[in-house]
Amino acid sequence: MRRDELFQQVAERFAFPLNDEIKIGGKYTPVLLDGDQAYVAGQIPRMGDTVHFVGDAGGSLSLEEARRAAGVSALRALTLIQRACGSLDAIVSVPRISVFVRSAPAFTLQSEVADGASDVLFEILGEAGVHTRTSVGVLQLPKGAVVEVDFIFRVRTANT
């Protein structure tokens, strides 16, 4: 099965709207192609106009809710890559992701939250989804979101 078809199945499971505009929160580009590298700006769990999973992990939100939020953030990033490259089959690898988790003071399971994004990448991209990762607990994130995830992808372009 092609990655784009897998992506559609996973998006349906998350109730993620595939045709919505990906809104950004400032004066920047959400994805920048530089040679065979695609840099995706930090993605929060926004679907349409609504930021889902607002709060802190281990406080107002459970570990499972925070993991799901990380998965939604990964789906947003994959949507941006699909639109920029024409297909997720253009992805060669995912060298790195960084996961920022808005955390309650005693919460120490940031890595488990980050697994939500990693699981989505592995499920859709297979071996190409293997990546290095940093997960960090923070006090606040944009729009009160529980997670923000940024990504570096290596992609096939007309020149590579």
Per the domain annotation, does 115 fall within a domain?
yes
DSSP conformation class of 5: H
DSSP of 6-27, one letter per residue?
Answer: HHHHHHHHTT--TTS----SSS
Check residue 22 and give its pLDDT: 84
pTM summary value: 0.95
Q: Each residue of 29-64: pLDDT tens digit?
A: 999 999 999 999 999 999 988 999 999 999 999 999
CATH of the domain at 137: 3.30.1330.40
CA distances from 136 to 17, 49, 54, 105, 143 (A): 28, 26, 17, 13, 18
Check residue 49 and give its pLDDT: 87
* The pair of three-digit structure tokens given for residue 96, joined into one six-digit string: 């790195």
Q: Of all helices (H) and strands (E), which one includes residue 34?
A: strand 31-34
Per the domain annotation, does 25 fall within a domain?
no
Check residue 1 and give its pLDDT: 63
Q: Which residue range is the domain that position 89 belongs to?
A: 3-16+32-154
Check residue 24 and give its pLDDT: 82
